Amino acid sequence: MTIHIGAAPGDIAPTVLMPGDPLRARWAAETFLDAPRCVTEVRGMLGYTGTWRGHPVTVQGSGMGMPSLSIYASELIREYGVTTLIRIGSCGAMQPHVALRDVILAMTASSIGTPSSTILREVNFAPCADWGLLQAAAAAAQDQGVTPHVGGIWSTDTFYDERPDLTDQLTRHGTLAVEMEAAELYTLAARHKARALAVLTVSDHLQTGQALPGDQRETGFAAMVEIALAAAFPG
Ligand X SMILES: O=P(O)(O)O[C@H]1O[C@H](CO)[C@@H](O)[C@H]1O
Ligand Y SMILES: O=c1cc[nH]c(=O)[nH]1
Residues that bind ligand X (CB under 6 A): 19-21, 64, 89-90, 159, 179-181, 217
Annotated binding site: 4, 20, 24, 43, 87-90, 179-181, 203-204
| CB nearer ligand Y, residue 39 or residue 107 | 107
Q: Could you report how far apart the first and last alpha carbons of the chain are, in Å?
A: 33
Residue 102 annotated in active site: no
Pick one of 204, 223, 227, 231: the residue that binds ligand Y (CB under 6 A): 204
Nearest-angstrom CA–CA distance, 118 and 50? 36
Give the one entry of ligand Y, ligand X, none that residue 204 binds, where binding means its C-beta sits below a cut-off of 5 to 8 angstroms depending on kind.
Answer: ligand Y
Name which of ligand Y, ligand X, none residue 100 binds, using a CB cut-off of 5 to 8 Å depending on partner kind. Answer: none
Question: DSSP per residue over 104-122, as a string?
Answer: EEEEEEE-S--TTHHHHTT
**Residue 73 or 98 having the CB closest to ligand Y:** 98
Nearest of 129, 125, 137 to residue 189 by alpha carbon: 129
Measure the CA dihedral 100/218/18/10, to 10°: -150
Binding residues for a purine D-ribonucleoside: 4, 179-181, 203-204
Residues carrying an active site annotation:
204
